[in-house]
Amino acid sequence: MLLFALPAICDERSEELKSGYYHMYNLDFTAAQAVFDSYKSAHPDDPLGPVSSASAYLFSEFNRLKILQLELFADNDKFDERKKEEADPEIKKKFDKELASVDDLAAKKMAASPTDRNAMFAVVLANGLRGDYAAMIEKKNFAGLKMMKRSRAMAENLLETYPDCYDAYLAVGVENYLLSLEPAPFRWILRIGGAQTDRQTGLKKLHLTAEKGYYLAPYARLLLAVAAMRDKDNATAKELLGELAAEFPSNDLLQKELARVSLAKTPKSGD
């Protein structure tokens, strides 16, 4: 099993939030929202509360629309051919409301203290969530890319002051790894626009979050499993998915993906 470090972002309240993320990764969104609602009530000025609620709303939509199937991300053709999904308008309203609350609370925090750790991290997450919704549900890839860049830029600002905020490395890793998969001419255009497209940097940052993150370590491990699947490294994908399936036993998607990878043939050397 991977070891989890406890970065300084975690204060005496973090275990409560972490339990909500556990329920979310276990696909128990009702329990996750109950934890996040309790946290928001107890700490109404902390933007990590509403951004966590927004995360659960987005993951619940991903689960309902079957967007979390890893095969979709491991195959370029399947990803490019994915259809625009029919979003739940009520969930979208709740999602947007939580993110508006994040914007308001984070702005107030950073007006008083420009390097407020929780506020900066909440903005990193909020921009990432907006990008995911735009790209994966609305199929607005360029809007998703714009928000991804914002998330990465804020993450870098956060990490300059708090290099031990290992969850924030995820935003840097995601942009670099995902955009490294684009054709070379497009990567060149993206770099001109300020995007980062280095594959090895992306994987390195994802490993940092996977090994030392707090809230987002399981998500980083899931992304590394996808990367392994893309590389036809079924042994690594099986190991990562096996750990996640054991940690989150109610997540039937992980069980299915583990079974599928376990049945896949490992390419012979030189193939």
The pLDDT averaged over each successive group of 10 residues in the chain (271 residues) is 33 77 96 97 95 96 80 54 77 97 97 95 94 85 82 91 92 67 40 54 88 93 88 91 95 89 63 47
77 class by beta-carbon count within 10 Å (0-12 exposed, 13-18 middle, 19+ buried): exposed
- At 136 the pLDDT is 82
- CA distances (Å), 116 to each of 20, 113, 122, 264, in order? 22, 5, 10, 46
Of 181, 158, 175, 159, nearest to 229 (Cα)? Answer: 181
DSSP secondary structure letter of residue 166: G
CATH architecture of 12-163: Alpha Horseshoe (1.25)
- Please give the structure tokens belonging to residue 236: 């690594």
- At 187 the pLDDT is 38
| Residue type for position 203 | L
- At 195 the pLDDT is 47
- Please give the structure tokens belonging to residue 177: 């790894």
CA angle 217, 220, 221 (to 5 degrees): 90
Q: How far is CA 149 from the centre of its chain?
A: 14
First CA to last CA distance, the chain? 30
**Spatial separation of the C-alpha atoms in residues 7 and 254, rounded to whole Å:** 27
DSSP character string of 58-69:
HHHHHHHTTTT-
Of 176, 167, 121, nearest to 148 (Cα)? Answer: 176
- At 175 the pLDDT is 67
